[in-house]
Structure 1
Amino acid sequence: MTQTVTIDGPAPLTGTFFEADTPRAVAVLNGATGVPHRFYRHFAAWLAETQDVSCLIYDYRDFGASACGPVRDVTASMLDWGLSDTQAARDWLEARANGLPVWLMGHSLGGLMLARHQRTQDIARVITVCTGPVHTTDHPWPFQATVRALWFVVGPLSMATFGYVPKQVSGLGSDIPGPVFKQWKRWCTTRGYPAKDPCIPAAPMAAFSCPVSTVSLSDDTSVPPNAVARMTELYPGTNTEHLALTPQQFGLKKVGHIDAFRPENAKLWPALIA
């Protein structure tokens, strides 16, 4: 069964809940920056229908189905999305878990701040996909040139002109609110940013006692495997298992940063939750 839901929190969020007939667990999938929650619907349906895992997907505040006004008026930051909204979505799910194990899943931004959640010891499983504390110098060339142009040229010019970064500039297919872009840029151009951004609360040591899997894709130029391998910076003291995947393992030509959740790449989905 699939239903549209409203998640109460610091800001109202709109999402979709895919409920398994006989669930063995419940999961929330926190999306990547600028990726609407509908993009994940095929994966969420697969979890519910074939893996007996009910799955919640949703849009961050003031974005996608959760938008409530012009993008130029958005005041939400990347930390609001990556911490406050992921906590609110998880709280909504836990209130309906009926004692079932709770999984936290994050794609890119969606996995960055999970160790800073409340009640982390209550989680049964953590899976992050293409998530890591990436720095500009981690990107391979020539993609690094594209990223530098976004951070230092076209992004700031767009901010000065429009007050946000249009989708035609971001290359993500969605407009990026101004405060989100500013914090995103600061994080990706600062080495060791979790300890240097005063807005980010410190993560407790060994926040999770459950299995934590960090998945990378070999052809991901946005958050390359070496950046994913540094997830210990975000999850201090936690035993994380880094699963390095290649498209060729699954008979695929390419996957990259975003497309792991596209239905045409469903061959790799069992590996994500293995």
Structure 2
Amino acid sequence: MSETVIIDGPAPLTGTFFAADTPRALAVLNGATGVPHRFYRHFAAWLAETQGISCLTYDYRDFGASATTHSSKVTANMLDWGLHDTQAARDWAALRAGGLPLWLMGHSLGGLMLARQSGTDAISRVITICTGPVHTTDHPWPFQATVRALWFAVGPAAYTTLGYVPGRLSGLGSDIPGPVFRQWKRWCTTRGYPAQDPNIPSAPKAAFACPVNFISMSDDTSVPPHAVARMTELYPGCQCEHRALTPQAFGLHKIGHIDVFRRKNKAVWPALIA
């Protein structure tokens, strides 16, 4: 069973709550940059219907179902999405957990800043998928050429002209607001960016007492496994484990960065929560 929900926070967020009949946990799934929350509906439904894990998915402020204005007028940046909106969603879920273990799951951007949330001692499990402090030089060629064109040519030109980066240019299929693009570019073109961006708060040591699992895909060109392995820098002192999965181990030809959550790749889903 699923229902549309409104999450109160610094900005209203629209999401979908998938309720398990007999839940054993409640998970908050924070999405990747430019990926609407409806994209995760099959995975969230699988969690609720087959794993007994109720799941909240949602869109970041002024994006997707949470949009209140045109992308060219959005003032929110990536930190608003990756830290403040993930906190609001987590707080919403915590009020409705009813004593159930609370899981945090993050896809790409959705897992970067979780250690910088407040009240992390109440979390029972953290799972990030294809999340890592990636730098431009981490991408393999020829994909790196595409990324460089986005950061240094196509993206800045679109932002300067339109105030946002259209989906057909971002490669994500969704428009990216200008302030989000600018901060995203700065993070991905600066080595050790958390320490270099004064707007990012420091992560407390051992923010989580629970297990923290970092999952990477061997064929992910956007955030390759060696970039995911750096996640310990963002989660200092935590009980971390990095697991690199290969498509072939699940009878699949390819998975990549986004498609891990597509229904055609559901063979890998049990490994994400193993």
Which band: TM-score by shorter chain? Answer: over 0.9
Query: What is the alpha-carbon distance in structure 2 between the residues aligned to residue 230 and residue 240 of structure 1?
Result: 11
Residue deviations 1:128-149, cap 9 Å, x none? 0000000000000010111001
The answer for the alignment partner of 1:39 in structure 2 is 39
Query: What is the alpha-carbon distance in structure 1 between the residues aligned to residue 21 and residue 13 of structure 2?
Result: 25
The answer for the alignment partner of 1:258 in structure 2 is 258
The answer for the alignment partner of 2:128 in structure 1 is 128
Cα deviation, residue 237, structure 1? 1.2
Residue deviations 1:91-148, cap 9 Å, x none? 0000000000000000000000000010111100000000000000000001011100
One-letter amino acid matched to 1:134? V
Name structure 2 gaps, 5 residues minimum: none
Query: What is the alpha-carbon distance in structure 2 between the residues aligned to residue 225 and residue 161 of structure 1?
Result: 35
Query: What is the alpha-carbon distance in structure 1 between the residues aligned to residue 70 and residue 147 of structure 2?
Result: 26
State whether structure 2 residue 149 is matched by structure 1 residue 149.
yes
Cα deviation, residue 233, structure 1? 1.0
Query: What is the alpha-carbon distance in structure 1 between the residues aligned to residue 146 and residue 192 of structure 2?
Result: 22
The answer for the alignment partner of 2:164 in structure 1 is 164
Name structure 1 gaps, 5 residues minimum: none
Residue 96 of structure 2 aligns to a residue whose secondary structure is coil
Question: Between the two proteins, what is the percent identity of the paired residues?
Answer: 78
The answer for the alignment partner of 2:227 in structure 1 is 227
Cα deviation, residue 239, structure 1? 2.0
One-letter amino acid matched to 1:182? R
The answer for the alignment partner of 2:189 in structure 1 is 189
Query: What is the alpha-carbon distance in structure 2 between the residues aligned to residue 243 and residue 158 of structure 1?
Result: 37
State whether structure 2 residue 92 is matched by structure 1 residue 92.
yes
Cα deviation, residue 238, structure 1? 1.2
Query: What is the alpha-carbon distance in structure 1 between the residues aligned to residue 2 and residue 155 of structure 2?
Result: 38
Residue 103 of structure 2 aligns to a residue whose secondary structure is strand
User: Root-mean-square deviation (CA), in Å?
Assistant: 0.4
Cα deviation, residue 160, structure 1? 1.2
The answer for the alignment partner of 1:116 in structure 2 is 116
Query: What is the alpha-carbon distance in structure 2 between the residues aligned to residue 135 and residue 226 of structure 1?
Result: 11
What count of residue pairs does the alignment treat as equivalent?
A: 274
The answer for the alignment partner of 2:272 in structure 1 is 272
The answer for the alignment partner of 1:244 in structure 2 is 244
State whether structure 2 residue 57 is matched by structure 1 residue 57.
yes
Residue 269 of structure 2 aligns to a residue whose secondary structure is helix
Query: What is the alpha-carbon distance in structure 1 between the residues aligned to residue 126 and residue 247 of structure 2?
Result: 22
TM-score of the two chains, using structure 1 as the length reference = 1.00
Residue 95 of structure 1 aligns to a residue whose secondary structure is helix
